């Protein structure tokens, strides 16, 4: 499924963009592997000064009734309770709504209310459909905002991810991911990024560790972690050094102040952290840089799962919870 990511970005570049009335703010509603598409689009559009906000809960945030954003509801299955509830609230408020899904209740509601809908190809795990979902949301946001043409960045994301993957697991991304997976296997991992492409990539890494490698993981960003988290990593009294590891995501476009913080932070935690790896974004556009740093995490999470003899695909416990709710 990861190997199909480049084609997913290309698919989105060829999509016919739906017609949507422009709005000053877009609110992307979705959960988990679908909802993170909003985070990717927020990072891309922030660089262009377009206001995209994220909602990952039932209903809508209180401000939505007054600010009146375009609501983009994204759910791969089309059956996620929180996302359906957000659409209900948006329709109650009379807000413009667009939908991204493979089918399910969400497309039924969209059909009944004549909402612009992008149907993405079905048959995958939602988190593996990242390129379809990010691409579809991006095309909708571009239609509803002054964002420039997103096609070049989608094509670049397709090319950069294809270059990393190569053919038959022989690309440089696979080599890098295997090395990192060796260093991190069996450890609880924290992934660090900074505002922009590596912030969303750090989030994606942690969530792919959760669902593919079936391990806890968390993410955070510089400079905030320099004001709290650093203390724990630079200490040794807890004896966690042998069971934890750090992934530091670096971006070609990061501010010099951020580069300096990363360097100094690495010096300070060096004596106490046994396993630390650095991964750099590649590509030019914010989307391509986010996509490449994320792709390495996707691959690492699968290699870690394979090394532990775990099938990365099923997430039965999530389904069990949904069934029990």
Provide the b/e sequence for 296-311 (b: ≥16 CB within 10 Å): bbbbbbbbbbbeeeee
Residue 121 and residue 15 in contact, taking contact as beta carbons nearer than 8 Å: no
Q: Is 125 in the site for ligand F6R (CB under 6 A)?
A: yes
Q: 3-class SS at 99?
A: strand
Residue 156 and residue 292 in contact, taking contact as beta carbons nearer than 8 Å: no
Answer yes or no: 227 catalytic: yes
Composition of the chain by helix, strand, coil, percent to 5: 55, 15, 30
Q: 3-class SS at 136?
A: helix
Taking the C-alpha atoms of residue 2 and residue 295, their distance in angstroms, rounded to an integer, is 8
Q: Is 312 in the site for ligand F6R (CB under 6 A)?
A: no
Q: Is 318 in the site for ligand F6R (CB under 6 A)?
A: yes
Q: Is 110 in the site for ligand F6R (CB under 6 A)?
A: no
Q: Which is nearer to ligand F6R, 77 or 241 (CB)?
A: 77
> Least separation, in Å, of the C-beta of 233 and ligand F6R?
28
Contact pattern from residue 159 through residue 198 relative to ligand F6R, giving x for each residue in contact according to CB under 6 A and a dash for the rest: ----------------------------------------
Taking the C-alpha atoms of residue 38 and residue 74, their distance in angstroms, rounded to an integer, is 8
Taking the C-alpha atoms of residue 142 and residue 276, their distance in angstroms, rounded to an integer, is 38
Candidates 6-14, 65-73, 121-129, 259-267: pick the segment binding ligand F6R (CB under 6 A).
Answer: 121-129
Question: For ligand F6R, which residue of 13, 27, 28, 34 counts as binding (CB under 6 A)?
Answer: 34
> Least separation, in Å, of the C-beta of 316 and ligand F6R?
11
Q: Is 38 in the site for ligand F6R (CB under 6 A)?
A: no
Q: Which of 227, 254, 306, 320 is catalytic?
A: 227
Taking the C-alpha atoms of residue 98 and residue 116, their distance in angstroms, rounded to an integer, is 5
Q: Which is nearer to ligand F6R, 208 or 265 (CB)?
A: 208
Q: Is 210 in the site for ligand F6R (CB under 6 A)?
A: no
Q: Which is nearer to ligand F6R, 70 or 101 (CB)?
A: 101
> Could you check whether the bond before residue 223 is cis, i.e. omega within 30 degrees of 0?
yes
């Amino acid at each position: 499924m990861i190997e199909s990511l480049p084609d997913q970005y290309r698919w989105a570049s060829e999509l016919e963009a739906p017609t949507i009335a422009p709005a000053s703010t877009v609110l992307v509603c979705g959960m988990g592997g679908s909802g993170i598409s909003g985070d990717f689009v927020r990072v891309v559009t922030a660089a262009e000064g377009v206001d995209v906000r994220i909602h990952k809960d039932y209903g809508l945030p209180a401000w939505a009734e007054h600010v009146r954003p375009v609501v983009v509801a994204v759910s791969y299955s089309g059956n996620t309770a929180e996302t359906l509830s957000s659409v209900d609230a948006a329709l109650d408020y009379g807000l413009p709504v667009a939908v991204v899904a493979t089918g399910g209740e969400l497309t039924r509601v969209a059909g009944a209310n004549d909402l612009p809908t992008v149907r993405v190809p079905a048959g995958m795990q939602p988190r593996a459909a990242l390129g379809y979902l990010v691409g579809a949301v991006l095309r909708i946001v571009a239609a509803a905002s002054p964002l420039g043409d997103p096609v070049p960045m989608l094509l670049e994301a397709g090319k950069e991810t294809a270059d990393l993957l190569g053919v038959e697991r022989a690309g440089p991304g696979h080599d890098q991911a295997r090395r990192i997976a060796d260093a991190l296997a069996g450890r609880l991992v924290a992934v660090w990024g900074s505002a922009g492409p590596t912030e969303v990539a750090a989030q994606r890494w942690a969530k792919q560790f959760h669902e593919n490698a079936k391990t806890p993981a968390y993410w955070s960003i510089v400079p905030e972690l320099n004001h709290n988290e650093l203390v724990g990593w630079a200490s040794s009294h807890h004896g966690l050094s042998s069971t934890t590891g750090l992934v530091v995501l670096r971006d070609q476009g990061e501010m010099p102040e951020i580069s300096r913080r990363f360097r100094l932070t690495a010096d300070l935690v060096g004596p106490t952290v046994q396993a630390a790896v650095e991964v750099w974004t590649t590509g030019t556009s914010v989307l391509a840089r986010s996509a490449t740093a994320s792709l390495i995490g996707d691959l690492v999470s699968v290699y870690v799962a394979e090394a532990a003899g775990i099938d990365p695909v099923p997430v039965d416990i999530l389904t069990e919870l949904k069934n029990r709710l």
